[in-house]
Amino acid sequence: MTTPTSAGGPPVDAEAGAGVLLPGADSATSGAAVPIGARGSGQLADVWRRFRRNRLAMVGLAIVTVLILLAIIGPYVTPYNAFEQNLANTLKPPSAEHWFGTDVLGRDLFSGIIYGCRLAITVGLLTVAFSLLIGITLGAVAGFKGGAWDGVVARFIDVFLAFPPLVGAIVIVRAVGGGVTPVIVALVVLGWMTTARLTRGQVLALREAEYVEAARSIGAGNRRIVLRHILPNAIAPVLVYSFTSIGVVVVAMASLSYLGIGVPPDVPEWGRLISQATPFLRVPGMTYLWLAPALAIAITTLGFAFVADGMRDSLDPKLRGGN
């Protein structure tokens, strides 16, 4: 670069650079002998191969797997009934019988955390799944159709983003009624917008892609173009975002429960467990009471974030890396 002010990355000659300056990118431009992994093994195998190379992502995947397993089999393997109160045995510090101690009502905290996990994972996955469904549909329609469709969806997104999320959630849960379902409804209603926006942007850009025009030139209709040509190429960043947002949903639900909204008071939900520990926050030796649920939330959030990070890199077919 001849000027210090404009020194960005090294300017790469579109031709020579492709094969040369980017490490690992063995240039399709010049690449005669493109190193090729398992032939015909499909793209999932490729994605998995790239994912495996990211150590943090593998840690995240382990965490997520354990969490999901716990959510499924948890209630059958807990040492105690997570709901069973024992007023004679309250606020006991961790011991051999009660690994994480017992809470104000004498419930086994370890069993509570495991039960809470089922709740967190269920709400997290369902919320994100519904958000994806709504977000991708609206985003794809807005991006592909453009014009008035786009205008309407964009205003819709703006309106929903204008709600203060916490207040909005409280209002919705109160309006729908107590329990877990209203929480999911509230979190979906307040959470689909980013997915829609991301999808819309991707679709808008890919709509002009030359391979879309190529598909049209062989007679493909709109439906096929969107489903086969645009969405598969648009979806990667949306999925990555969704995975990160599972952690956000878990935190959001915990916040609501902390405030006493949604999940019934007797359910050992993580936010609820922290809430009941609040009076003992400054009591020496009582740290265990809030530390366990807090760590559970943190680990869950991090686990999904790590996986999302690994997905970001592995979903890009162009980043193949060396063998």
Partner 1 sequence: MAPTSPRPSRRRQAAQPTQSDHLLEVRDLRVHFDTAGGAVKAVDGVSWYVDSGETLAIVGESGSGKSVSAMTLLGLVPSPPATFPSGQVLLEGRSLLDMPESQQRKLRGSDLAMIFQDPLTALNPVFRVGDQIAEMIRAHQSVGKMAAKTRAVELLAEVGIPDPRLRATQYPHEFSGGMRQRAMIAMALANDPKVLIADEPTTALDVTVQAQIMALLEKLQAERDTAIVLITHDLGLVAAHADRIMVMYAGHVVEEGTNDEIFTAPRHAYTHGLLSSLTRMDHARPEKLEPIPGQPPNLARVPEGCPFHPRCRFATDACRADVPLLVAAAPGSSHRHACVHPDEVAIAHERPREPAPVVAAETPVEQRPPMLDVRDLVKHFPIRVGTFVKRTVGEVRAVDGVSLDIPAGSTLSLVGESGCGKSTAARAILRLHEPTSGTIELAGRDVTGLSLHDLRTARADMQIVFQDPYASLNPRMTVRQILTEKYELLGGELTDSTIPELLETVGLAAEYADRYPHEFSGGQRQRVGIARAIALNPKFVVLDEPVSALDVSIQAQVLNLLEELQQEFGLTYLFIAHDLSVVRHISDRVAVMYLGGIVEIADRDTLFEHPQHPYTQALISAVPIPDPAVERVRDRIVLTGDVPNPANPPSGCRFRTRCWKHLQLSDDEKRRCIEEPPALVPAAGSERHEVACHFAGEREVLRG
- Interface residues with partner 1 (CB under 8 A) are 1-6, 8, 10-11, 13-21, 23-24, 26-36, 39-40, 43, 151, 209-211, 213-221, 224, 228-229, 232-233, 317-318, 320-323
Strand partners, 108: 102
Cβ proximity to partner 1: between 46 and 122 the closer is: 46
Question: Rounded to the nearest 5°, which phi and psi values hold at 108?
Answer: -75, 120
Cβ proximity to partner 1: between 11 and 264 the closer is: 11
Could you tell me the two tokens for 19? 């094969």
Whole-number CA gyration radius for the chain: 25
If you ran DSSP here, which 8-state letter would residue 108 be given?
A: B
- Is the distance from CB of 183 to CB of 175 less than 8 angstroms? no
Cβ proximity to partner 1: between 17 and 94 the closer is: 17
Cβ proximity to partner 1: between 168 and 321 the closer is: 321
Min dist CB 170 to partner 1, Å, is 34
Length reported for the chain: 323
Cβ proximity to partner 1: between 21 and 104 the closer is: 21
Instruction: Tell me the residue type at 253.
Output: M
Min dist CB 84 to partner 1, Å, is 52
Cβ proximity to partner 1: between 221 and 285 the closer is: 221
**Alpha-helical regions (H) of the chain:** 16-20, 42-52, 55-77, 109-145, 147-162, 165-176, 180-189, 193-206, 210-217, 222-224, 231-258, 270-277, 288-314
Could you tell me the two tokens for 299? 């680990």
- Is the distance from CB of 257 to CB of 179 less than 8 angstroms? no
Q: How far apart are the first and last CA of the chain?
A: 33
Min dist CB 11 to partner 1, Å, is 5
Cβ proximity to partner 1: between 13 and 84 the closer is: 13
SS3 102: strand
Cβ proximity to partner 1: between 147 and 284 the closer is: 147
Min dist CB 222 to partner 1, Å, is 10
Min dist CB 198 to partner 1, Å, is 18
Instruction: Tell me the residue type at 244.
Output: T
| Chain centroid offset of residue 187 CA | 13
Distance (Å, rounded) from C-alpha 230 to C-alpha 209?
A: 9
Question: Please, what is the angle between helix 270-277 and helix 288-314, to 10°?
Answer: 150
